[in-house]
Amino acid sequence: MTSMLVPTLRLSEPGLVDWLAGVLGLEVTERTPTDDGGLAHAQLWLGDAQLLMASTTGMVELPTGVASLYLAFDDESEVRRRFARAEAAGATVVMAPTAMDYGGINATFRDPDGNLWSLGTYLPARS
């Protein structure tokens, strides 16, 4: 059986796709426009990790700014570099890169829609 868990964010405006692609280095592989020039759907990738984004237009009670996502990297410099790009692009800093008790570093910011993004070097693995 093949399966994957794909986080999906609701976005308030199409510019968030390019904002995230720019600050986190995500690759936008698909964009589906709405009839009025907005964005209905987008697919973004970072290595093997996928993120879907969809507009709230026409959706009932699917608010923006309620997700918390974690991007893991095997290189501390990648965490620091991407966090610095997010901060320079106007992200709200929640926690600057910090050494964690369980090892590695972690940093957290809010994107323009209010979603929490954590970047860290802790790589989850199955036991």
Determine phi and psi for 9, rounding to 5 degrees: -105, 140
CB 120 within 8 A of CB 83: no
Q: Look up tokens 């929640």; give the residue.
A: 94
pLDDT digits 0-9 by tens, 58-117: 555 566 677 889 999 999 999 999 999 999 999 999 999 999 888 889 999 999 989 999
User: What is d(CA 67, CA 53) in angstroms, rounded to the nearest whole number?
Assistant: 12
List the one residue out of 8, 9, 28 whose CA is nearest residue 18: 28
The two tokens of residue 118 are 């954590």
Give 2 or 6, the one with higher predicted confidence. 6
Residue 4, pLDDT above cutoff 60: yes
Amino acid 10: pLDDT: 83
SS3 content of the chain, % helix, strand, coil (to 5): 20, 40, 45
Most confident of 8-12, 13-17, 85-89: 85-89
At residue 2, the pLDDT reads 60
Q: Say whether 75 sits in a helix, a strand or coil.
A: coil
- Tell whether the model's pLDDT for residue 127 goes beyond 70: no
Check if the beta carbon of residue 40 is closer than 8 Å to that of residue 54: yes
